[in-house]
Structure 1
Amino acid sequence: CSGERVVSWYTARSENSRAWSALMAPIPAPEVVVTDGGSGFAKAVRETWPRTRVQRCTFHAFSQVKRYTTTRPKLQAGRELYLIARDLMGIETLHRAELWVERYLDWCGFWADFLEDRTVVDGRRVYTHERLRRARSSLSSLVSAGTLFTYLDPALAKAGPLPSTNNMIEGGVNSQLRAVLRNHRGLTSVKRVKAVFWWRHAHSGDARTAREKLAAMPTDADIDFLFSVYSASPSREDGGPEWGDRAVWEDLHHRDPYPFWLD
């Protein structure tokens, strides 16, 4: 989504680079994209939007660290790292961003030997503080990639402040879709798909009437066809169509100038 509307959508079996690329390909490359770092996204943006700058959602970056340290770490190293990650969400200037990186690198250096400790478990030597190592790795990869503070780049923020999180889509779109399905329990799979499609059509900035939108939406038969053909054998070696082929959209829905995508 953009700040005003749902731009496009793509229904997939799972998050992977192919599904992300299929969603992104029809959309003109933006200057900046904010993402939670879903599976396959990094590869897709390199291939589909190679000149687009990436802003990793700082809340998700913090949440990933919190998943490993918990909110009440028992170790001093964990307590310090938790506070460092939490402070990500309050950075508003490049100077403060530089100080944050220095603080994080100092933490890495101070606790480096501690995180190398090993313990013997079932005859194997394993890292004693594996969870802390994973938390460190999650932040180090983002620092190395330079995707934590894209929103502070003056050249990109000329037109106005940029978001540092993807709360816009989480709260404005994803949570609304969950509410639609929660409030209409008991729908069949086909009708659940259609309910999601209808909500997104209604929030896409499309000026057509409800009758015109309904005429362009997939029918029950269309969706039944997709599930029966493309999910029956998701991995085929005979060269036949697989779940996710672009032909799904092109064959069934090329008439609609406001595209949605089916995988």
Structure 2
Amino acid sequence: MPDLATNVLLSVAVFAGAFVSGLAGFAFSAVAGAILLRIFQPLEAVPLMMACSIGVQAANLWALRRNIQWEGSLLLIVGGALGIPIAVHLLQSADTSILRASFGIVVALYAGYMLFRPALTRADGGASRRLTALVGFGGGLIGGLTAMPGAIPTIWCDMRGMPRGDQRGLVQPFIAIMQIFALVLLLERHGLSSKVVIDLAISLPALFAGSALGILAFRNINEIGFRRTILVLLLVSGASLVLA
């Protein structure tokens, strides 16, 4: 493929992924990967998507800094940090394809069902510290196996009927730290090629533009629209795990 066409597709993929992630808080790889995994080899596409996704998460954290729920986020992060090493061990010692597909089915069914029923009533009071850490553990474990660390915490927030600002403020730091953790583990094994660095530099304008527009869209979307967006992205992400 000519370099110009490749660079255009790279920019389109990164812009689309950054916009969706800026709006919803996750799903950069699910959106951008649909294009990037077709034009690059996995060892080039995966670290590129991780690096770009971390860039979007940094923008999200800055934009939502007043909404961050530090105590709950730290509990999620501690739980997730315990779950990721187990996922890495499973990836090295067992065939996890059935587990990934099963999780994808559960996520897709949940999202599909919730799209056709009213929003849940907001839960009174905060969740226990143990439950929050347990949700983080599940997010880290499943995230290490599926590259979707935010799926379980996002579903948990939806089941509690949390408003969009509270949900993003709780889950966003968790997703960012889990992605940094995953990128560090990947770089320890494979390093970062000069080709990935060049592609990252080329994609920066699209990354910044998509992130800014996605965050702007988040600030202007209502609660119902945001919830439907989240559920549609969970449905697509779950289906992608099944079909992978």
TM-score by length of 2: 0.29
Q: Indicate the structure (1 or 2) with the bigger Cα radius of gyration.
A: 1
Greater length-normalized contact order (CA 8 Å, ≥ 6 residues apart): 2
More helix by share: 2
TM-score by length of 1: 0.28
Higher strand share: 1
